[in-house]
Chain A
């Protein structure tokens, strides 16, 4: 194996750690390599040197697939951190243990963490991780992958360069549980608008769900500090699957059908009373389309070298969680607007992905798709 600059390891050797890319049959939302192990293997910056998982079979499959020795697979990630001294570590376990593992990794001296979403379950956990990582100078990228998607990057560039005029509205039709894939939806809204949320209104799927801590569906109205307003529909979206609509005074970008299509509109003369018509123009592609995962690594390498924040930082991860919790608080308070930041840091959402996490997702899936004899 050629020597590359950084030693990388994966904790949690399942779907996002290893096999997710197998599920993807077309580009748009992601370009390959996307998930952690294939990206470390492909990157010119990293060598994949180890993996950790409490389930032995997961470790064996991982070692076989990515060409690691048995000695490079650990049942206890703490032993791996100590023995391997990785520069990069990916956190692809259940979100239940993410905060604890991030803290251990920071204390073990890693340079960069690439963490799955949601960032943590509670705000207090997020605060603790961010405080420690700032003190130790560890770069944390949260895998809200749309920040590393070429279409979203172009849309944001158009915002930054004024091509869409003043940004007025971001609408997200994103059927999801608010912590689990809501992390993506809310983060993408913040990213596209390029601003922070001051207050929210939210309606959850039921009073019972809103009262509990389990992950849940809901809708919300977001007031950004630059004057833009957001509407997110996390409840079922039917014939409008995963869509973002960014509207400015001069132009508009719609990202449709899970990122498989991006549309750009701008004014042309015409219309009912000659007040102008928004006509579709070709969406401006960049000259080069990077893979999603390799973009994350490039970003983290840059952070290690310059001290800048990753494009999707731990701070961004915390904000997505805080907005989701504030929407739930709004419902809990009888439909009131809720200002950010939240004062009660013990609030949390038990992301839907942690359900049944004692058994690897791969095994659960095998059990639910039993082969007929």
Chain B
């Protein structure tokens, strides 16, 4: 059994699964603590959080004793000799914590997204992780979705023919949930992005470093083209559309529906019709978090890259930064990689991060007496 600990004992570290009422996008257990508890590979042995009340709630819920909870994660890393560490804090400190965890000798890191705020931070972490042979999985969870994994299998085995287009309607800030959207596009297309064109919501937002919404056109090296709409999407919430010469997979309504289309005879001039066929389900579907842990165990034991690696996390960030650069440069295509590594996006999730999100939410919803 690998010894696992969580840093940041709030929503993603502990309670996120409580919010989910329907499977599809994710299956439970999904977030960190419940996954470590349920996995046959791991034992949850510790948690760290600056806020004492967060630690107390976490200990209670996951059956840890008071001394297994640390207010300083560095003390925990030194004391607990961890194999796995989850980084569920605000993204503001993620790079620093990842580096401390790598240097403390952990075998695997399961990090929330975005991987870092700046490209330089991501470069540092990836370099250090590679030197120390630490497996880093970024929690872009759609890589662990049975449906999207199946779509990618269909693409790789030629069932969709030559891939042509990936479209994402994913209302989001381009670093925060944009990490998911951009990573999923790369995952489905199985190619890297050569250049992008982007439009942000306003010139003012594009000029700043705060997280922001925007749209983009992505040119993949394998010839596929991508369109992402991260501006508001109205009646098309979180959708991916993967189009090939022979078939098409659409993941709809935040992953709650997946559709598969392929050609049948017919049509206006007998040129064929794309008809909906049952989407091929895999033989088993496990909790999303358990898939991440199995993937990291494999990475530890065989040296393979995690399915969503730190490199993937960096690329999602770099594409988001490049979309913003395109707008900053007056609307022109921007080639990757981005030369200026100091560029960063202050992921929207770091706003107000001095107070735990749980407490902020309690303040927003005052209880009627």
> A278 touches which one: B229, B237, B241, B333 (CB < 8 A)?
B237
- Please state if B243 and A267 are interface contacts (CB–CB under 8 Å): no
- A240 and B169 CA atoms in complex are apart in Å by 17
Using an 8 Å CB-CB cutoff, how does the interface string of B5-31 with A read, 1 for contact, 0 for none? 000000000000001111011000000
B:206-256 near A, CB below 8 Å: 215, 217, 219, 225, 227, 229, 231-237, 241, 243-248, 253-256
- A240 and B276 CA atoms in complex are apart in Å by 12
> B268 touches which one: A24, A236, A240, A278 (CB < 8 A)?
A24
- A173 and B273 CA atoms in complex are apart in Å by 15
- Please state if A260 and B268 are interface contacts (CB–CB under 8 Å): yes
Specify which chain B residues have a CB less than 8 angstroms from the CB of A252 in the assembled complex. 234-236
User: Contacts A231-B167, A240-B248 given: A25-B269 contact, CB under 8 Å?
Assistant: yes
- Please state if B245 and A239 are interface contacts (CB–CB under 8 Å): yes
Specify which chain A residues have a CB less than 8 angstroms from the CB of B330 in the assembled complex. 336-337
B51 adjacent to chain A (CB < 8 Å) = no
- Please state if A247 and B233 are interface contacts (CB–CB under 8 Å): yes
Using an 8 Å CB-CB cutoff, how does the interface string of A172-193 with B read, 1 for contact, 0 for none? 0100000000000000000000
A251 adjacent to chain B (CB < 8 Å) = yes
- Please state if B21 and A272 are interface contacts (CB–CB under 8 Å): yes
Using an 8 Å CB-CB cutoff, how does the interface string of B84-97 with A read, 1 for contact, 0 for none? 00000000000000
A326 adjacent to chain B (CB < 8 Å) = no
B3 adjacent to chain A (CB < 8 Å) = no
Specify which chain A residues have a CB less than 8 angstroms from the CB of B22 in the assembled complex. 270-272
- Please state if A336 and B331 are interface contacts (CB–CB under 8 Å): yes
Nearest A residue to B255 via CB reads A272
- A250 and B22 CA atoms in complex are apart in Å by 23
B161 to chain A minimum Cβ distance, whole angstroms, is 6
> A237 touches which one: B165, B268, B333 (CB < 8 A)?
B165
- Please state if A247 and B234 are interface contacts (CB–CB under 8 Å): yes
- A16 and B32 CA atoms in complex are apart in Å by 64
- Please state if B332 and A239 are interface contacts (CB–CB under 8 Å): no
Using an 8 Å CB-CB cutoff, how does the interface string of A315-350 with B read, 1 for contact, 0 for none? 000000000000000000011110000000000000
Specify which chain B residues have a CB less than 8 angstroms from the CB of A123 in the assembled complex. none
- Please state if A221 and B235 are interface contacts (CB–CB under 8 Å): no
Nearest A residue to B247 via CB reads A239
A:14-28 near B, CB below 8 Å: 23-26, 28
Pick the interface stretch among A103-111, A140-148, A160-168. Answer: A160-168
Specify which chain B residues have a CB less than 8 angstroms from the CB of A275 in the assembled complex. 237
- A277 and B257 CA atoms in complex are apart in Å by 11
A201 adjacent to chain B (CB < 8 Å) = yes
- Please state if A219 and B225 are interface contacts (CB–CB under 8 Å): yes
B199 adjacent to chain A (CB < 8 Å) = yes
B282 adjacent to chain A (CB < 8 Å) = no
Tell me the interface secondary structure of chain B in the complex. loop
Nearest A residue to B195 via CB reads A335
- Please state if A23 and B269 are interface contacts (CB–CB under 8 Å): yes
B:162-193 near A, CB below 8 Å: 162, 164-165, 167, 169
- A248 and B234 CA atoms in complex are apart in Å by 5
Pick the interface stretch among B139-147, B259-267, B303-311, B351-359. Answer: B259-267
User: Contacts A171-B167, A239-B244 given: A25-B235 contact, CB under 8 Å?
Assistant: no
A:194-217 near B, CB below 8 Å: 199, 201, 203
A:212-235 near B, CB below 8 Å: 219, 221, 223, 229, 231, 233, 235
B70 adjacent to chain A (CB < 8 Å) = no
Specify which chain A residues have a CB less than 8 angstroms from the CB of B248 in the assembled complex. 238-240
> A233 touches which one: B199, B225, B236, B246 (CB < 8 A)?
B225
B160 adjacent to chain A (CB < 8 Å) = yes
> In this complex, which of A221, A235, A240, A265 has the most chain B Cβ atoms within 10 angstroms of its Cβ?
A240
Specify which chain A residues have a CB less than 8 angstroms from the CB of B161 in the assembled complex. 238-239
Specify which chain B residues have a CB less than 8 angstroms from the CB of A199 in the assembled complex. 331
- Please state if B164 and A169 are interface contacts (CB–CB under 8 Å): no
Specify which chain A residues have a CB less than 8 angstroms from the CB of B169 in the assembled complex. 169, 247
- Please state if A267 and B253 are interface contacts (CB–CB under 8 Å): no
- How many B residues touch the partner, as a band? 35 or more
> In this complex, which of B261, B262, B268 has the most chain A Cβ atoms within 10 angstroms of its Cβ?
B268
A241 adjacent to chain B (CB < 8 Å) = yes
Specify which chain B residues have a CB less than 8 angstroms from the CB of A219 in the assembled complex. 217, 225
B73 adjacent to chain A (CB < 8 Å) = no
Specify which chain A residues have a CB less than 8 angstroms from the CB of B195 in the assembled complex. 335
> A28 touches which one: B255, B261, B268 (CB < 8 A)?
B268
- A139 and B253 CA atoms in complex are apart in Å by 45
Specify which chain B residues have a CB less than 8 angstroms from the CB of A239 in the assembled complex. 160-161, 243-248, 261-263, 274
B36 adjacent to chain A (CB < 8 Å) = no
B36 to chain A minimum Cβ distance, whole angstroms, is 23
Nearest B residue to A165 via CB reads B234
Nearest B residue to A167 via CB reads B234
Specify which chain B residues have a CB less than 8 angstroms from the CB of A245 in the assembled complex. 236
- A107 and B367 CA atoms in complex are apart in Å by 77
- A248 and B22 CA atoms in complex are apart in Å by 25
B14 to chain A minimum Cβ distance, whole angstroms, is 17
- A337 and B331 CA atoms in complex are apart in Å by 5
B58 adjacent to chain A (CB < 8 Å) = no
Nearest B residue to A265 via CB reads B235
- Please state if A237 and B164 are interface contacts (CB–CB under 8 Å): yes
- Please state if B197 and A201 are interface contacts (CB–CB under 8 Å): yes
> B225 touches which one: A235, A257, A274 (CB < 8 A)?
A235
Specify which chain B residues have a CB less than 8 angstroms from the CB of A201 in the assembled complex. 197, 217, 331, 333
CB-defined A-B contacts under 8 Å, sample of 7: A233-B225, A238-B165, A247-B233, A256-B274, A271-B237, A272-B24, A278-B253
Report, nearest first, the 10 A-B pairs whose CB atoms are least far apart: A335-B333, A337-B331, A249-B234, A238-B245, A252-B235, A239-B248, A231-B227, A336-B332, A278-B235, A247-B236
Residues of B that sit less than 8 Å from A by CB: 19-22, 24-25, 160-162, 164-165, 167, 169, 195, 197, 199, 215, 217, 219, 225, 227, 229, 231-237, 241, 243-248, 253-256, 261-263, 267-274, 330-333
Residues of A that sit less than 8 Å from B by CB: 23-26, 28-29, 164-166, 168-169, 171, 173, 199, 201, 203, 219, 221, 223, 229, 231, 233, 235-241, 245, 247-252, 256-258, 260, 265-267, 270-278, 334-337
With A237-B165, A337-B331 given, name 8 new contacts (CB 8 A): A169-B233, A169-B236, A171-B167, A203-B225, A231-B227, A235-B164, A257-B267, A270-B22
